[in-house]
Structure 1
Amino acid sequence: MKNIFLFVLIFASSLSFGQIQNIVEPEKIENQLQKNHLNTIVFSDKVVPFENMKETDFLKSITFQEDKDFDVRIFMDNSLVNYLHQLDPSLSVEELIKKGNYQFSFFVDGKLIYIENLNPGAGTADQKKFKTSFRIPFLSSKNEDSWGKYLWMRFYFANGGIDALETGNHLLKIEIKPYLKTSTLKIGKTIAQGEIQLNIPKKNVPEDQIAIQKIKPNNGWKVSEDKFNQEKIRLLNQKIAENRFRDITGIVVIKNEKLLLEEYFNGYKRDSLNDTRSVGKSFASAFMGIAIKDGYIKSENQSLKDFYDVKKFKNYSSKKDSVTIKSLLTMSSAFNGNDEDYESPGNEENMYPTDNWIKFTLDLPMTENKIGKNWNYFTAGVVVTGDILDQSVPTGLKDYADKKLFQPLGIKNYQWQFTPQQKPSLAGGLRMKALDFAKFGQLYKNNGTWDGNQILDKNWIKKSFTNYFADNKDFEGYGYLFWRKVYKVGYKNFESYQSSGNGGNKIIIFKEIPLVIVITAKAYNKPYAHSQADKIVQEYLLPAVYE
């Protein structure tokens, strides 16, 4: 009798400790197809409603084509919230939804290529509470919008998927686990997995799309006669032609002040004006340096109260008086504005619909951050620097910029984006030829001189190319509206400062080597835009022209 009682006690304990009760009641699993495939990911090349699905819709192999449907269906034995509840039973349903989601792991031919903890904002609360089955359209012939589309882009284009899936046959495997991010990251057991054989067809690219483009005359540069690895550039051109690097429109390489490479793609030409978005922010830095050099602005340490009656704007505090031009140039002004946070009141998307961008910015409340200390990407602050310039220089910023920068560099054809007050917007959108963007980069490489004229003060460039956030481990650094980026080729590090804009647009100025690279692109709002540009530089251009 005593032994029986001990067995019952052990069995009850194993239930209480090994099996945590659901926190919500998930939908009932009544579909026989789901019952047959619990904890499985199945693949299809067409969109089929759940209730109409048949075994024959599930594929073991597929010829992979990016313009066709590539659908997955996940069958689970519980809902996400209940899986998350098992990781931390102390949290409420709302806390679980806010702090957790699915973790996706992508394997190709048995090798782990990419892991992503899906942003907690992906998917609806009801789906996470109750659903035990859901569909993900990775590729859609109707361009269906979903978080799955962007997840696939991040795997495929930004994190090595496209390289792993070269021409031929490959086994793609996907695993899904729940994750919860509180003070630590907790990962649950695998709740669904599946695999499919992908046949990647060969793309036939004409030779003229692979061939290195000959530099035509009348380009405004001396042409370099330096040798470079032509096979690397041919391979790069092939990948662009095959659409393995996407939406690239131009590549220009300046070495030792001479034009070494000039290549255009996807219908763009030398005379095309490229919308490089936030690349234009770096021009704000240049204009400020020129205005200080000319004495129209005393220094970047001047504060807002020198230019505005700050007390007339909303959310006034004495801290707002102390915001400096420098803090706007380094994106550390402590305004409550962060373009990377959609809920931030100062997010640029909240600014554009208003009829006065300066008022919008100066009305913003301040945060508790110390001015000059905490970095947040803040476009509205750069717009204010443009207004400070416009009111400080004679005849306004538009004429001043043309006279002091564009004309000396021989830049004649360009287009501004304007504010609602028809002032040049330094938020971005300045359109130019790729070769003219290269002139801007070379000006910095020349320590501010062009054709013997000192356009920018050498010390201003030194300040601009200083990392003011060396203690921030989340990114490589930031100067006066220039990003710091270190490229690694073999055992060598190549430090650069660069203008960077949505779509993968870059003007890259290397600090220790005589090289300026311009990449123009139109992969706007695509998750792979910047990573593919960095890959082009690190794996193709640098090895080709500087090894």
Structure 2
Amino acid sequence: MQERLSEAIEDGDLKGLHSVVMMLNGERRAEAYFPGKDENWGLDLGLVQHGPDSLHDTRSVTKSIVGLLYGIALAEKAVPELNTPLLNLFPEYPDLRDGSDREKITIRDALTMQMGTEWDESLPYTDPRNSEHAMELAKDRYRFILDRPMTDKPGTTWSYNGGAVALLGKLITDGTGMPLEEYANSRLFKPLDIETYEWVKGYDGVSSAASGLRLTARDLAKIGMMVAQDGVYEGQKIVPFEWLKASSQPASLIQEGFEYGYLWYLIKGPSGDTIMIALGNGGQRLTVQPERDFVVSTFAGNYNQPDAWQVSLKVLLEFAIPEATKYLKNKD
């Protein structure tokens, strides 16, 4: 796969591709790495020689990881149940109880990005008008998130919202008594033998639940493998199966054939099985097809480019899937 991908990059078909790891039946079957310009949460890193040990921004793939962490914490009874109204958990903002639908926004609405509040991340993340950027600049990020004007009834309309995940990150931190990155290390990374990671902090010193996680492509794929295998890794239960099942059930409709669960994008495979996808700015992608025990992680450096998703999709369809198919045929 490395040779075929290299040829495609030389032909200009896979601009910005940095890393690909493909796993099948719990084993790493193929991987490829390429040099390229990169960033660390917007900080220019220059030309990076990407390899198996290279940390890379996952950007909004972080959201799906936070979704897993909420499920773990919920099983431990460390965080509130999903039907809990969010404002009940933020008593420091009594003025936000204004008799509007804001009081009806629940944790489930945050997990499914159906809060019904005004939020716009369509602008580049370097633009202060971008809602996530504005959240980072706000004196109090949680007040900023919760006091956005209402645009829809909660639980009815999908609207991409990094602020929703910041709220979930705070609930995990408050409920467990641990910073988000420490809880992730204790309950997810260490059990998966993930030794190296970074979690970028915002201006207020809080780890960004929306986009701050940095992992290697191998370790991101390992998380995907655990998800594909019902939350189990080497015989140890990491994420409750019930949570993964709920996460993979469509809760929000984005567009026909493209839905959303608990911080995971969902599509149907050729046989009608569910494919779970985590996506991040710049071409970051984790694809998990549990029924096939098939996982692909992809990193790229096409940050703030609206068509960045096309590179990772092309890698999946034209390289990773054919590689997996070839492997299975050879095995037979």
Q: Is 1:408 paired with 2:191?
A: yes
Distance 1:503 1:475, change over 3 A: farther
Q: How many residues align?
A: 311
Q: Match for residue 365 of structure 1?
A: 149
Aligned partner of 2:267: which letter? K
Q: Match for residue 240 of structure 1?
A: 9
Q: In 2, Cα distance between the equivalents of 1:314 and 1:339?
A: 23
Structure 1 unmatched runs, 5+: 1-211, 214-233
Q: Match for residue 384 of structure 1?
A: 167
Q: In 1, Cα distance between the equivalents of 2:178 and 2:322?
A: 46
Q: Match for residue 212 of structure 2?
A: 429
- Picking from 517, 528, 540, the partner of 2:296 is 517
Q: Match for residue 113 of structure 2?
A: 331
CA offsets 1:417-455 (integer angstroms, 9 cap, x no match): 213332221111211111110111111111111122211
SS in 1 for 2:139: coil
Quick check: 1:487–1:493 contact (8 Å CA) kept in 2? Answer: yes
Q: Match for residue 479 of structure 1?
A: 261
CA offsets 1:310-335 (integer angstroms, 9 cap, x no match): 65355834422221111111100111
Q: Match for residue 254 of structure 1?
A: 23
Q: Match for residue 278 of structure 1?
A: 60
SS in 2 for 1:277: coil
RMSD across aligned positions (CA): 2.4
Q: Match for residue 398 of structure 1?
A: 181
Distance 1:391 1:346, change over 3 A: farther
TM-score, normalised with respect to structure 2 = 0.86
SS in 1 for 2:276: strand
Q: Match for residue 77 of structure 1?
A: none
Residue 487 of structure 1: how far off its partner (Å): 5.9
Aligned partner of 2:206: which letter? K
Distance 1:388 1:371, change over 3 A: same
Quick check: 1:314–1:365 contact (8 Å CA) kept in 2? Answer: no
Residue 523 of structure 1: how far off its partner (Å): 0.8
Q: Match for residue 71 of structure 1?
A: none
Percentage of identical aligned residues: 28
CA offsets 1:258-309 (integer angstroms, 9 cap, x no match): 0100210112111110112111011110110011011112422222133112
Q: Match for residue 86 of structure 2?
A: 304
Q: In 2, Cα distance between the equivalents of 1:508 and 1:476?
A: 14
Q: In 2, Cα distance between the equivalents of 1:464 and 1:546?
A: 27
Which is greater in Rg?
1
Quick check: 1:279–1:507 contact (8 Å CA) kept in 2? Answer: yes
Q: In 2, Cα distance between the equivalents of 1:323 and 1:454?
A: 31
Which structure 2 residues correspond to residues 147-546 of structure 1 after superposition, within 5 A? 212=1, 234-266=3-35, 267-309=49-91, 311-313=93-95, 316-340=98-122, 347-367=131-151, 369-470=152-253, 472-473=254-255, 476-486=258-268, 495-546=274-325
Structure 2 unmatched runs, 5+: 36-48, 327-332
Q: In 2, Cα distance between the equivalents of 1:397 and 1:404?
A: 11
Identify which of structures 1 and 2 has the higher relative contact order when contacts are C-alpha pairs closer than 8 Å and 6+ apart: 2
